[in-house]
Amino acid sequence: MERIKIVVPKKLIGGKMKKKRKFFTTEVISNRETQIGSRIYELVIWAEKQKPKAGQFYKIIPESSSQMPRPFTAADCKDNEITFYIKVVGENTKKLSELREGDKIKLIGPLGKPFAAEKSWKRVILVGGVTGIAALMPIAKKLDEMVIKTLALFGGKDEGQLFCKWRFNAKTCSTQTICEDALCERNLVTHLLEDALKEDAGQSVVIACGPRPMLKKVAEICEEYKNQCYVSLEEMMACGIGSCMGCDIPTTQKDEAGNKIYKSVCTEGPFFNASEIDWKALIPPKITIESSEERIGAKKIDPLKTELWGQSLNLELDFPIMTASGCYVLDSINNGPTDEYGIGAHVFKGLTTLRRQGNKGPRICETPSGMLNSIGLKNMGLEEFLSIAPMIIDMIQKTGRKVILNISGNSVKEFVDLAAALEKAGFKFIEVNISCPNNKEGGKIFSLNTKSTREVVREVRDSAPGLYLIVKLSPKAQDIAAIALGALNGGADALSIANTYPGMLIDPYTLRPCLGGNTGGLSGPAILPINVLKVFEVAQAELGLPIIGIGGITDARSAMNYILAGASAVQCGTGSFKNPKIFREICQGLKDFVKYHKVSNIKDLVGKVVLY
């Protein structure tokens, strides 16, 4: 059969075919901190035949767990060397700061539209903040070649952030710098710009790069003094070639139908005319939160003290952080490496009426950003647990620890028997895991049905009226708010949202599942955004029940996601396997967020997400 050829006329693609942008791997020539303690690094790489133009950038492929490459402007390019300036702000940039001579690095680029200076310009003012200063270097060089008079204004928190101002020394360029730690009121680079434009009569063209609030202020100043202004914007990117539209920014322009026009930073930027940007949409107004301290007077409040209200009993916590069920037994806390500081309550491994040996191995396997487990609720059973119950009760009374017992069952009767026996033994707090299959209803999970959820919780409540009941819901519920309402109507005191997600991995060599139980529960950072949404959906239903967020918590930032979505407390499990100090670190991080938002207690931040 003759092969069919598809011929595209050259005139339809603009004549000569464009050379495809390269994804390439190269070596690090050098990497050094510009000044000790500045956390800004000068990264120089070997890039033969790469000739980025002023304003263009590269995506550096991360070696961390992140899937998103980060854009960095090429600050300088000469002798087959490209220089980047990178400020350490997260996991990706920290990895980049650790690169050494000879290390391999992957890039995509150059990307973006080159910045085109015009010969008619009489004077240009460059405004740079922190690493934004580096992005202006190639533009200053171009302006010098064009013999355009240039004034460079640079600002930062301290001298360490004014790391490459000397690179702007040229016949046509003069510089002025300012630091925020200066003992004066007008200590911002935008103050320098205002002074420079007062007698300018709108003649100078302003080009700025730096933090977004700075860029917004620069745009406002230029509008006031009627100066033409261009700003360089950086956005999180996925494809980097204008295909996914993930880095679009809002503009003031509209299409024929009156809809707002968005432009892609990766193909139409990074430089934009400041007057074309919808700054209100790009930078939402700052949000302030009323503090509980302001409401009740000057009484000092412990920033992390938390109280989960119940029908007949409250759960008081020194910290809004708990261990997640299935991760620890008491001995592992007492004798293991885990730092106990920051743990508000210990949630025990799941207890069933009869002893269980668990599922056959393998029981765990690693997944991208998480793990699968198929433990099978291995535990000693109710009878043996009751034999050691007096010892646990004694420990609780002596240490003041809060202990929550997690119970599981395949029938309503099993839950009832467990709850009644535990209340009689002297325990006060239990977590009812209704994500288990109900064998009497054909293996259906209790918490996937509002009626069965209400039934099992009601039966447990009636059998143990003095217990504080936390009901653990399944993430598989399509309408989790409706299931939560069923738990409320059954008599729940609080909700924990949510259990692990069913998942499966297969070994392509052995052709068998990676778990002996074939499937398992997915936990870890991969499920964080999914469970945050589940918490938010229940919180929006305004049922009045305290919520405990679970899933993918690795630090204070991820814990705050649940709190802002509507959770009063969180549980941490998988993250503690990697980091034994995680509870202490989350605790300190939550205190920092309380301080940052100028509130007195973490409860002031519960459910305070502000939607767009």
Peptide bond into 498 cis (omega under 30): yes
The phi-psi region of residue 452 (left if phi > 0; otherwise alpha if psi is between -120 and 50; otherwise beta) is alpha
DSSP state of 170: B
Helix (H/G/I), strand (E/B), else coil: 207? strand
Dihedral angle over CA of 135, 137, 143, 146, nearest 10 = -120
Q: What is the DSSP string of 108-138?
A: EEEESPPP---TT--EEEEEEETTHHHHTHH
Q: List helix spans (H) across 258-381.
A: 265-268, 279-282, 292-296, 330-335
Chain mean position to CA 81: 34
Are the C-beta atoms of 65 and 231 separated by less than 8 Å? no
> 275, 152, 151, 131: which is closest to 216 by C-alpha?
275
Beta bridge partners of 550: 571
Are the C-beta atoms of 313 and 303 separated by less than 8 Å? no
Q: Please state whether beta strands 22-33 and 104-111 pair in parallel, antiparallel, or not at all (unpaired).
A: antiparallel
Length of the chain: 612
Token duo for residue 495: 């909700």
Q: What is the DSSP string of 45-71?
A: EE-TT--PPTT-EEEEPPSSS--S-EE
Spatial separation of the C-alpha atoms in residues 108 and 528, rounded to whole Å: 29
Q: Say which amino acid occupies 2.
A: E
Token duo for residue 401: 């620890």
Spatial separation of the C-alpha atoms in residues 569 and 323, rounded to whole Å: 11
Going from the C-alpha of 528 to that of each of 326, 419, 555, 562, 579, the distances in angstroms are 18, 30, 12, 9, 17
Are the C-beta atoms of 171 and 144 separated by less than 8 Å? yes
Dihedral angle over CA of 561, 565, 567, 572, nearest 10 = -30
End-to-end CA distance of the chain: 58
Cite the active site residues: 436
Q: How many other β-carbons are positioned within 10 Å of the β-carbon of residue 278?
A: 15
The phi, psi pair for 468, rounded to 5°, reads -90, 115
Q: List helix spans (H) across 185-329.
A: 189-197, 212-225, 265-268, 279-282, 292-296
> 335, 328, 371, 365: which is closest to 350 by C-alpha?
328
Residue identified by tokens 């101002």 is 165
Q: What is the DSSP string of 389-409?
A: HHHHHHHHHHH---EEEEEE-
Spatial separation of the C-alpha atoms in residues 133 and 157, rounded to whole Å: 13
Report CA Rg, the chain.
30
Does the CA dihedral 380-381-384-389 come out positive or negative?
positive
Spatial separation of the C-alpha atoms in residues 473 and 471, rounded to whole Å: 6
